[in-house]
Structure 1
Amino acid sequence: MIMPSDKDYKSTKKIKQGILKIKEEFTPLAKWIDEKYDVKTLNLVFDFIKNDKSYPRLQVCLEYVKDKGKFMDNQTYSFDKTKQNEVSDKFAEIVSGYNIKNRQNWIKKIFGLTYKPNNLFVYFSDFESIAKIEANENIPEKKIKELKTAINNSELWEIDRRFDSVTYFLHTEEQLIRYQNSEIHKKWNQEYFDLLKDYDEFGYFIRESYSVFLDSKENFDKNYESNWFYYYK
């Protein structure tokens, strides 16, 4: 899962909403992951890398960012290989517990009796970070314009939201320094948070830790050639 448009995110969202349930065949593994690592698994998605059955892949869709962090290697900022192998081994153990010779079940359909446990690539994602992006993107542009009009501050050039955050652009660097951590900045935090919460279906944004970013048009023009692509690259 990378963006709200991803099919894996959409299916996981339905599980979070209670519309769907995790596939029955994956329930034992999800329960094992939750108990062993003290996390919350929302979904497990099995597929093949580039549709090549020689390269099976399992995505563990955790609910929270902090849960995904438990599966990251702090030294390399990649997935923890030990935990990847532990999940892969447990999946192989669960698979081996089914009678695949006599049942037209999910294992037979997925693996075609060619599954090799040591081939499985396990990776981890989290639902929370994508849900935050969706919430922010779901705010209608009309609401953003109405907010800017209501602020009615000639020193505010633009309000621009991307992904799960929003940036208020002042015109100059001098204004940026003056507004940073000011009472006005705190007020902008509150106003945008109040707007955002109407679209935060799962309550992942927290008022006490929420803050809008501040920047300046001067910086945008001078260092990013007035180009949004360069700015967010």
Structure 2
Amino acid sequence: MINQSDSDYLETKEIVLGQQSVHPRYQRLIDWIELTYQRRPINIDVDRVGPCWETRLSVIFCTEAEVGTFEDDSGINFNKSIQASIAAEHERLEPWYAKFSLRQKRDALVIFTSFEKVARCDVFDQVKEDALLGAVLKVFPDIWCVKKMLSYPIIFFETDREIKGLDSGKKAEVRDAVGSLIADLDFCGCFADDVFIGFDSKENFEKSYQSNWFYYSRDH
């Protein structure tokens, strides 16, 4: 899952909200993963990718921290041994899938994804820009602007010097103000203890990004 319009995200969201249950076909594999790795997925999505329609098995956990336990020592790639074990168990439980593969000797591609990561974007997307700006201006009335990123806001002051002089108490105050806007929309509690707010300056935006929001958004 990449964004909130993806079908696997929408299905998992309904599961989290109690509007539907995990498909019975995947319940046994979820139970096996929990028993074997002490982490319980909230959903599993299986689809076909590539020119040979190979099976891709997405194991969906709630948090990014849970996904991290399935990475190798590099912290970049998934643990190949775990991927192979889950693929083998999936084939054992659902051998009929192999009948539809044009490359039957190749294991299913197993990936691990975080529901919370996309849910944060979903929730924050619902925060109205005027409400966000109003909440920030009550704490910092002299800012340049507020920019909504995918899952958090960045507050822009005029100069770098203003950023360096920010009071920690004011930072906490604006975090609480923004958090109160998010709270009523946060259907899964993904912002409960982690409302991130970025701080930057117009000076840096002009100097480092040539006043171009596209370039800026790529880095944030």
Same-fold call, TM cutoff 0.5:
yes
Deviation, structure 1 residue 141: 2.0
> Which residue pairs with 2:163 in the alignment?
176
> What CA distance in whole angstroms lies between the structure 1 residues aligned with 2:155 and 2:140?
13
The answer as to 2:176 corresponding to 1:190 is yes
Deviation, structure 1 residue 87: 0.3
> What CA distance in whole angstroms lies between the structure 1 residues aligned with 2:129 and 2:51?
38
> Which residue pairs with 1:137 in the alignment?
125
Mark the structure with the bigger radius of gyration.
Answer: 1
The answer as to 2:28 corresponding to 1:28 is yes
Residues 40, 64 of structure 1: 8 Å contact kept: no
Instruction: Note closer, same or farther for the CA distance 1:140–1:76 as it changes in structure 2 (3 Å cut).
Output: closer
Instruction: Note closer, same or farther for the CA distance 1:131–1:189 as it changes in structure 2 (3 Å cut).
Output: same
> What CA distance in whole angstroms lies between the structure 1 residues aligned with 2:139 and 2:178?
11
> Which residue pairs with 1:225 in the alignment?
210
Written as runs of structure 1 = structure 2, the 5 A alignment for 1:8-157 is 8-50=8-50, 52-53=52-53, 55-75=54-74, 77-96=76-95, 107=96, 111-112=99-100, 116=104, 118-151=106-139, 153-154=141-142, 156-157=143-144
Per-residue CA deviations over 1:75-112 (Å, capped at 9, x if unaligned) read 1511110110010111111124xxxxxxxxxx37x844
Unmatched 5+ stretches in structure 1: 97-106
> What CA distance in whole angstroms lies between the structure 2 residues aligned with 1:46 and 1:211?
33
The answer as to 2:186 corresponding to 1:200 is yes
Root-mean-square deviation (CA, aligned residues, Å) is 2.1
Per-residue CA deviations over 1:93-148 (Å, capped at 9, x if unaligned) read 1124xxxxxxxxxx37x844868364311111010111111111111223123324
Residues 89, 117 of structure 1: 8 Å contact kept: no
> What CA distance in whole angstroms lies between the structure 2 residues aligned with 1:140 and 1:112?
46
Unmatched 5+ stretches in structure 2: none
Deviation, structure 1 residue 232: 2.0
Instruction: Note closer, same or farther for the CA distance 1:229–1:203 as it changes in structure 2 (3 Å cut).
Output: same
Instruction: Note closer, same or farther for the CA distance 1:203–1:117 as it changes in structure 2 (3 Å cut).
Output: farther
Residues 172, 218 of structure 1: 8 Å contact kept: yes
- TM-score under structure 1 normalisation? 0.86
How many residue pairs get aligned? The number is: 218
> What CA distance in whole angstroms lies between the structure 1 residues aligned with 2:152 and 2:73?
25
Structure 1 segments of 4 or more deviating over 6 A? none
- TM-score under structure 2 normalisation? 0.90
Supply the AA of the counterpart residue of 1:164: S
Paired-residue identity, %: 25
Per-residue CA deviations over 1:160-189 (Å, capped at 9, x if unaligned) read 12122211111101101001x522112111
Supply the AA of the counterpart residue of 2:27: T
